[in-house]
Structure 1
Amino acid sequence: MQKIAQQISQRIDFFDLLRGYFVLVIVLDHLERWPGVFDWMTGQGRLWSSAAEGFFLISGIMIGLIRGHRAIDKPLKVVSKILIERGVVLYLWAVATTLLFVTWGMLWPYGGLIPPGLFEFQGEATAPNMLWQIFNLQYSYGWAGFLKFYAIYIMLSPLVIWLLRSGLWWVVLLGSASVWLYGLDQDDWWLSWQLLFYTGAVLGFYTYSIRDWWHGRTALDRRVLSAVIFSSSFIFLVLSVFWTFAWNYLKAPDNPIMSFTDYDIARRYVDPLFDRVSLQPLRLLVTALWFTSLILLFSRFEHQLKRFAGWLLMPFGQNSLYVYILHGLVVFALDLLLPAKQYILQNIIVQILVVALLWFAVKKQFLFKIIPR
């Protein structure tokens, strides 16, 4: 029993490390202080997949693992109550943060610095219309916009947990994939990103079965599979980095790779294949490869990561929603008070100070009783 408990504890630590990494990258991406020293780690959120996809996957995994597998002996009614209450709290925070950011942006005295996207709601620009779209989650604003998706997906999770308890994991995947397929040409975040969350829930519920299957392979099989995954991930990473950041390099008339005109034309065809909103199949493939590679790397070097980066990644991972919500407030204020500049040293200082501020807030449990974790 003690050995089993230790294994469970280690797996939670492992997932917290990975979740902390995703949250850290999201914070750095949302700061948009480029160029800086962290571009290589984050890809500026512009590659063929991003930390956001990983965060949704790992969030679904935690639901499937903690509220599904580990709560298998608890009545479904109890688990459902916990999930629905959690979803309601996140819904209220999604509404509250949007209201706060909208009010903040509209009252900001320096009109030229009003953040973009403030008035991008549907229909007539009236207060009742805006309020209606905020409360029905049609409109969100600020750097905590994903809360609304997380809130609704969690509130629907009791049905998923019931299906998983009944051994109907394939129904969950089939239903989720069907919704995703329907939304491929709808340009709708709601229809596409649920696939990440509920696929994660299935993976979380069967975490130990997947682990046992992996360890049941021969050492040669594991090495071959790992090599295929890592090599494929690396190829897509190189292509993605080139395709995303080669813009300025290819403008040089003497570059030996391709003309800028050909590059510009090619991007018009390639970019839609990795669309972030609809989660096109190729973007899902890249997400699956990169996520699996990170799983293997974090699993292999878990103890080293805990020793050297656990002081940051563990608090961020264990309080991921708190960090996500609080970073939205910090980034929003920072964008108004200190607009981004092309100064590398300033960008580095801002990035480090913001991460340090969030870490300090977690360690001091600042507003822990108010902001969900």
Structure 2
Amino acid sequence: MDQASPGISGRSVPGPDLTSLYGRHGYPPTPGGRDLRFDFLRGFAMLSVVAAHLEMFSWFNFLFWERLGIISAAELFVVASGLVLGLVNRRVIDKAGLEEAAVRLLRRSFVLWRALVVTVALIVLIARLGLIDMTAVTTFTDRWAAQTYSLIPSADLPWRRQVALVLTMRASPHQIQILSLYIILLALAPLLLWMLGRRLFGAYFALTWVLYFLGSLRTEGDTRLFGMQFEYAFPILYWQVYFTHALAVGYFRAEIAGWLADAARRRLVVGAAVVLALAFFLFAQTTANSTFPAWSRLNLITPERFQGLYDVYFQKGRPGLPRLLNVAVFFMAFYALLTYFWQPIHKALGWLLIPLGEASLYVFLMHLVFIVLIDQIPGYFDVIPDWHEVWPGRIWINTALYLGTILGLWALVRNKVLFEVVPR
């Protein structure tokens, strides 16, 4: 956090003494500089993204398949992005005005849209030529229901219709569909920042929660606002809540830091977040997911009870209030962990996660290449990812493939491969 950050009027808002707050193992004071904790967290989210999209069971599933809490990498990514946008654009607004911030946000939204369109167009072209099997990114298979859905325009459609589907983000690989959500949220961000700057808190939070509850009133499968493909996984009526609240926290970060400068208040907030995060962690260990071995699951409640609670409150596509709370306290606890123990954590994993987080868009797009390459192994993604199918031998191969993918992406980032072409 910054020691001093300009307020909305241009005056400095005093912040806490970071050295005394964080201790000798904590995050160093970097007033006005880039917060590497956010890059670290986004890099961590990338680990989870790869684990989810490499549809095979490895040792990393025990971390990233909703076992640290009922959370996903997508939620961490949206929250981190909202926080960074709020923080950065507060500075831009204070220095150059809202118009400059709006131009930057809309330009970034266009860059992401262009990257998505070009990526989908390349995938469609390669699939049509038949030079390599692109099934892993052109279809989505619900392996439990044994049903496959096409994610690219049908070749039987008129070419104009195919182009329209791609341009309007109605067709894209499921692995990168969250980009469509983010593109829309970025386009809406100038309005949200204007409301925050005018201190229209009542209207701001009323708007986000009205949209959320409108989503909850819709029947399952009917939560799409724009009729886009990504809304099946990331309904904007629900998922905008993560972004809008994170944006507000980032925007008023200096004021929040000043409020938390009181030691007793800070201990209460951090302690509550850690306790709740641990409670959700324990709840996640009672998972009814039978793909995990029995020895890895706690028997605190019955699988039926867990599934009943999950279906009502914890679905990713229709997150209830408990899931929203889980995401919030996990992020707070993780951020506090990085804040107070940054030096050893950075030494152990910073070399890997910070580069991945700094180039998160690049990593997000390039991980499709590794998915396609692994899918060339005959039958590799054709079975339900399940512990009982991979133990004792194949799980080690799967884990090696996962680590190879992560290290491969890291190497691409470190060597800036295609940085001139692929946006970061």
**TM score, norm. by length of structure 2:** 0.76
Asked whether the equivalents of residues 45 and 77 of structure 2 are also in contact (C-alpha less than 8 Å), the reply is yes
- What CA RMSD, in Å, does the superposition of the two structures yield over aligned residues? 3.3
Q: Deviations over 1:312-371 (max 9, x none)?
A: 121112111111111123223322446248312211211111111111111111111222
Candidates 164, 173, 184, aligned match of 1:152:
184
SS of residue in 1 equivalent to 2:177: coil
Task: Provide the residue aligned with 1:344 in structure 2.
Answer: 395
Asked whether the equivalents of residues 28 and 42 of structure 1 are also in contact (C-alpha less than 8 Å), the reply is yes
Q: Give the partner amino acid of 2:175.
A: W
SS of residue in 1 equivalent to 2:212: helix
How far apart are 1:294 and its partner, in Å? 1.0
Q: Return closer, same or farther for 1:345/1:92 CA change in 2, 3 Å cut-off.
A: same
Is residue 2:144 matched to residue 1:119?
no
Q: Give the partner amino acid of 2:249.
A: L
Q: Deviations over 1:114-163 (max 9, x none)?
A: 65335257999624444322221233224211111111211221112222
Q: Return closer, same or farther for 1:241/1:116 CA change in 2, 3 Å cut-off.
A: farther
Task: Provide the residue aligned with 1:136 in structure 2.
Answer: 168
Asked whether the equivalents of residues 151 and 172 of structure 2 are also in contact (C-alpha less than 8 Å), the reply is no
Aligned 1:332-371 pairs, distance under 5 A: 332-337=372-377, 339-340=380-381, 342=390, 343-371=394-422
Asked whether the equivalents of residues 286 and 299 of structure 2 are also in contact (C-alpha less than 8 Å), the reply is no
Partners of 2:355 and 2:207 lie apart in 1 by 34
Q: Deviations over 1:43-92 (max 9, x none)?
A: 26896211210110010111111122454221222221111111011111
Asked whether the equivalents of residues 83 and 250 of structure 2 are also in contact (C-alpha less than 8 Å), the reply is yes
Q: Give the partner amino acid of 1:57.
A: V
How far apart are 1:168 and its partner, in Å? 2.4
Q: Give the partner amino acid of 1:226.
A: V
Q: Return closer, same or farther for 1:264/1:109 CA change in 2, 3 Å cut-off.
A: farther
Task: Provide the residue aligned with 1:81 in structure 2.
Answer: 103
Task: Provide the residue aligned with 1:187 in structure 2.
Answer: 223
Once structures 1 and 2 are overlaid, which stretch shifts more, 191-200 or 122-131?
122-131
Partners of 1:227 and 1:140 lie apart in 2 by 42
Q: Give the partner amino acid of 1:23.
A: M
Is residue 2:318 matched to residue 1:293?
no
Task: Provide the residue aligned with 1:7 in structure 2.
Answer: 30
Q: Give the partner amino acid of 1:64.
A: G
Q: Give the partner amino acid of 2:118.
A: A
Q: Give the partner amino acid of 1:154.
A: L
Task: Provide the residue aligned with 1:39 in structure 2.
Answer: 61
Aligned 1:144-223 pairs, distance under 5 A: 144-184=176-216, 185=218, 186-188=222-224, 189-218=235-264, 221-223=265-267
Q: Return closer, same or farther for 1:194/1:123 CA change in 2, 3 Å cut-off.
A: farther
Partners of 2:31 and 2:63 lie apart in 1 by 29
Partners of 2:359 and 2:398 lie apart in 1 by 25
Is residue 2:276 matched to residue 1:232?
yes
Task: Provide the residue aligned with 1:91 in structure 2.
Answer: 113
How far apart are 1:104 and its partner, in Å? 3.6
**Between the two proteins, what is the percent identity of the paired residues?**
23
Indicate the structure with greater helix content.
1
Once structures 1 and 2 are overlaid, which stretch shifts more, 60-69 or 44-53?
44-53
Q: Return closer, same or farther for 1:178/1:332 CA change in 2, 3 Å cut-off.
A: farther
Q: Return closer, same or farther for 1:246/1:327 CA change in 2, 3 Å cut-off.
A: same
Asked whether the equivalents of residues 98 and 141 of structure 1 are also in contact (C-alpha less than 8 Å), the reply is yes
SS of residue in 1 equivalent to 2:313: helix
Task: Provide the residue aligned with 2:313 in structure 1.
Answer: 273
In structure 1, list runs of 5 or more residues that go unmatched.
Answer: none
Q: Give the partner amino acid of 1:313.
A: L
Once structures 1 and 2 are overlaid, which stretch shifts more, 121-130 or 191-200?
121-130
How far apart are 1:228 and its partner, in Å? 2.8
**TM score, norm. by length of structure 1:** 0.85
How far apart are 1:172 and its partner, in Å? 2.6
SS of residue in 2 equivalent to 1:233: helix
In structure 2, list runs of 5 or more residues that go unmatched.
Answer: 6-28, 141-148, 225-234, 384-389
Once structures 1 and 2 are overlaid, which stretch shifts more, 114-123 or 178-187?
114-123
Q: Give the partner amino acid of 1:326.
A: M
Once structures 1 and 2 are overlaid, which stretch shifts more, 196-205 or 56-65?
196-205
Asked whether the equivalents of residues 229 and 292 of structure 1 are also in contact (C-alpha less than 8 Å), the reply is yes
Q: Return closer, same or farther for 1:307/1:4 CA change in 2, 3 Å cut-off.
A: farther
Candidates 31, 48, 57, aligned match of 1:25:
48
Partners of 2:278 and 2:371 lie apart in 1 by 31
Q: Deviations over 1:156-189 (max 9, x none)?
A: 2111222222222443332122212212234331
